[in-house]
Each structure stands twice: as structure tokens, then as C-alpha cells.
């Protein structure tokens, strides 16, 4: 951890050094001389040292930003520290006081991370509980609609158009347009909104799709209400909470046998 903290500090300060140098160059140039400023930036971009500094600074900026709620870094002191390290004035491996400071910082960040993980876990559990209740209510309401049928697995469906041709097989490759929603109406995925149909092997998707699309043919349209057991179960996918019932409108554009 000490090694990581040391590299992080140096990377941030190197980036700060080059950023300061770039700003100083711009300040020297007339405000209207945009070509001169652009040329200076271009020259720096060709310098390996500057490029490495930007690479390290860019990667580690995310680290510092992620710690803002726990730790606020003073850029002037960061700059002072990297100068002392580069000049050989301070050797981290020989300085126990600095090592203790970094160890204390690591402990502080670890405790904050643990607290955040517990908070996220609690929120996820609450979301899963809500998703289960919402799904059961939505499924019951959908099941009561005209034309809705249920398979032995618990899949609910309503065929809007059967389509034509040979029955779809689980091993077929299908090309579809679809919109997926949660019971509360939130759209979590839609090929229609993207304007680009999806194509995949039917046996490579969630069980509810594999089973449901075999109920129609090419050109068919079907509405599916898929219980969590035939979708993503207790997985929390962010946009799709654990235990979510999924509602899909699907149109089968094409069907091809697997090669």
C-alpha cells in the first residue's frame, strides 16, 4: 500500500508540474495569440516526459476524485512533496514518519470503503425487496389481461402476431427489435431507441427469452413478462435490481439456423 501511495503522489505532482508549466507558457503569450498557445501545447504533446506525466496524472485523478469525501489533498503540498522526492531530499523508504502518515491514511480510506460497502449492500437489499413485491403485483395484473397465457415455468406472454414460417428453435439465431422495462415502467434497454436490431443465438440469452421466442415465428410480435427465476435471479445489475420481474415487447425480424 505504501508503494501505491508513493506512486500516486508522484504521479499527481508530476501532472501538476506540467500543468503549471503549460499555464505559465500560456500566460507569457498574448491573449490574442491563439496559434502560439496551440503550438506550445503541440510541442509538449511530443515530449515523452510530458506524455508520461499526463498518463499518470489522468489515471490517478480518478483515485483522488474518489477520495474527496474522505480526504482533501492540498496540491501545493503535493507539489512540494514530489519535488523533495525527485531531488533526493526525502527518501520514503527511510522515513518512518511519512510511512506512518500513509499507513494512517490507508486505514482511514479502508474504513470509509467498508462503510460505503455496507451502505450499498443495505440499499441493494431494500431494492431487491421492493423489486420482488413490484414484480409480483405487475405479474398478477398482467395475467388478468385478455389473451395472456402462462407456461409451466411461470413465463407470462401475450402474442400480438404469430409470424410465419418454421417454428423457432432454441439453437436458432434471431434478429429482433425489443424494449425491456421494469414493472414501474422504467426502460432499462431498448434496441428500438438505439435504432439498431439485436442479433444473437437464442440459447445464449436469459431462459425467459429462450422459451418465449419459441412461441412465435419470423415476423412475430410477443409481449413477455419474465419472472426473476427466468431472468437474472438475485443478481444486482444496477439498472436491473435483484429479484426483478422483466417486461419485454419483442418483434422477431429474422430467424437463421445456427451454423
Instruction: Give the tens place of pLDDT for each residue, 77-106.
Output: 877 887 888 789 988 888 999 999 989 988
In order of 7, 11, 28, 52, 106, the CA distances from 4 in angstroms are 5, 10, 36, 17, 10
- What are the sequence ranges of the domains in the chain? 127-256
Q: What integer pLDDT is reported at residue 99 of this predicted model?
A: 92
Mean pLDDT across the stretch 9-38? 40
E strand intervals along 91-206 = 149-150, 156-161, 173-181, 187-190, 198-201
pLDDT band at 182 (very low <50, low <70, confident <90, very high): very high
d(CA 209, CA 226): 8
Does this model's pTM top 0.75?
Answer: no
**210-252 pLDDT, tens per residue?**
999 999 999 999 999 999 999 999 999 989 999 999 999 999 9
Q: What is the mean pLDDT of residues 115-126?
A: 91
Tell me: pLDDT of 139 over 60. yes
Q: Say which CATH topology domain 127-256 has.
A: Chitinase A; domain 3 (3.10.50)
Q: CA 92 to CA 94: how far, in whole Å?
A: 5
Residue 226 to residue 211: CA distance in whole angstroms: 10
pLDDT value of position 63 = 72
Catalytic residues: 178, 188-189, 206, 232, 248
> Contact at 8 Å (CB) between 186 and 213?
no
Question: End-to-end distance of the chain based on CA atoms, in angstroms?
Answer: 51
Judged by DSSP in three states, 241 sits in coil
Amino acid at each position: 500500500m505504501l508503494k501505491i501511495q508513493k506512486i500516486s503522489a508522484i504521479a499527481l505532482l508530476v501532472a501538476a508540474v506540467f500543468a503549471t508549466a503549460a499555464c505559465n507558457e500560456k500566460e507569457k503569450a498574448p491573449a490574442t495569440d491563439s496559434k502560439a498557445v496551440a503550438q506550445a501545447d503541440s510541442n509538449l504533446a511530443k515530449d515523452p516526459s510530458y506524455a508520461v506525466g499526463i498518463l499518470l496524472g489522468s489515471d490517478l485523478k480518478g483515485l483522488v476524485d474518489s477520495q474527496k469525501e474522505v480526504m482533501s489533498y492540498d496540491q501545493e503540498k503535493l507539489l512540494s512533496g514530489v519535488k523533495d522526492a525527485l531531488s533526493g531530499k526525502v527518501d520514503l523508504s527511510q522515513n518512518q514518519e511519512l510511512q506512518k502518515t500513509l499507513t494512517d491514511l490507508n486505514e482511514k480510506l479502508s474504513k470509509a470503503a467498508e462503510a460505503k460497502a455496507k451502505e450499498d449492500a443495505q440499499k441493494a437489499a431494500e431494492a431487491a425487496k421492493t423489486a420482488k413485491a413490484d414484480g409480483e403485483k405487475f405479474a398478477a395484473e398482467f395475467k388478468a389481461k385478455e389473451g395472456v397465457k402462462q407456461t409451466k415455468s411461470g413465463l407470462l406472454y401475450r402474442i400480438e402476431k404469430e409470424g410465419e414460417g418454421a417454428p423457432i428453435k432454441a439453437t436458432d439465431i434471431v434478429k429482433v427489435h425489443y424494449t425491456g422495462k421494469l414493472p414501474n415502467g422504467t426502460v432499462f434497454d431498448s434496441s428500438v431507441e438505439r435504432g439498431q436490431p439485436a442479433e444473437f443465438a437464442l440459447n445464449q440469452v436469459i431462459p425467459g427469452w429462450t422459451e418465449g421466442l419459441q412461441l412465435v415465428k419470423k415476423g412475430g410480435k410477443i409481449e413477455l413478462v419474465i419472472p426473476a427465476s427466468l431472468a437474472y435471479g438475485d443478481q444486482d445489475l444496477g439498472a436491473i435490481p435483484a429479484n426483478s420481474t422483466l417486461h419485454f415487447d419483442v418483434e422477431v425480424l429474422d430467424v437463421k439456423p445456427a451454423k
